Amino acid sequence: MNKFLVFLVKFLRGMCRPFFPVKVFGDRNIENKKCLIVGNHVSGWDPVIYIMWMKNISSFVYKADFDKNLFLNWFFTGLDCIPVHRGEVDIAASKKILRLLKDNKSVCLFPEGTRNPTVDCLQEFHTGAALFAIKTHAPVRPFYIWDKTKIFHKNYIIVGDEFTLDQFYDRPLDKQTLEEATELIRSNMDQLRIKLNATLNARGIKRRKRTKKELKKLAAYNEQQQKLTEIAGNSDCKNNGEDA
């Protein structure tokens, strides 16, 4: 990482924290060692909030579209962040993630792959995180962000314990292995979600009222999920009929 950028980020985050208050449950001091850090994705601010409130700086996986901005391209490159092209198999990004992990660096990514408008539940996970963790034997550290980041609105992050996918190390890296490993990662993150919700409910902390724009996105997301469920259901019925 570029030492000047690391210094700049550490300097600026102290100035920005009062504008984005966050309560962190769990260990904020995640070492910059070989580790795959995974979190839910509720807003474009998620990497900023994470870096702002964690003690160490990790390399993030980000959407390659941001590279069109020369400043962001310079900034992300200086922090060893990894641009990923959506909708395709990005071999260059995968190689860089594997190289960073093999060089004993931490990499942070969002297995959901895109922002989740429902906020208080998890979408399906892509299998990339499981693949990287198994190939490099990197431990996995999950975290969960409670809500979308809003200026002067207090948010909450819970950081889980580190775990490994060692039960999959000796298995072939086929679809079944990756899906089972991915479900284990998702389950660990979902347990964090449940734990954080229980903690905040016990303290009487409720979610803020959704804006019209957020409700519109949520409705569109729910409609899309319903269609996907119906398609899957029809496919199952068809398969069952063929098997019979």
Strand segments (E) across the chain? 22-25, 35-39, 59-63, 82-84, 106-109, 140-145, 155-159
Q: Are residues 232 and 145 in the same domain?
A: no
Judge if 202 and 217 occupy the same domain.
no
The SS3 assignment for 23 reads strand
Residues 6+ apart with CB under 8 A from 31: 56, 106
In this structure, the answer to whether residues 188 and 146 fall within a common structural domain is yes
Residue 223 sits in which domain range? 210-244
User: Can you give the CATH number for the domain in which 182 is found?
Assistant: 3.40.1130.10
Region 35-54 average pLDDT: 92
145 and 237 belong to one structural domain: no
If asked whether residues 238 and 184 sit together in one domain, one would say no
Residues 243 and 137 in one domain: no
The torsion angles phi and psi of 158, rounded to 5 degrees, stand at: -120, 135
Same domain, 84 and 174: yes
- The 10s digit of each residue's pLDDT in 94-150 is 999 999 999 999 999 999 988 887 777 888 899 999 999 999 999 999 999 999 888
- 49 and 156 in a single domain? The answer is yes
Residues 181 and 196 occupy one common structural domain:
yes
Shared domain for 27 and 44, answered yes or no, is: yes
Record the tokens describing residue 238, joined without a space. 């068809």
Number of domains in the chain: 2
Report the mean per-residue pLDDT for the chain.
87
Q: What pLDDT does 44 receive?
A: 86
- Is the entire prediction scored with pTM above 0.75? yes
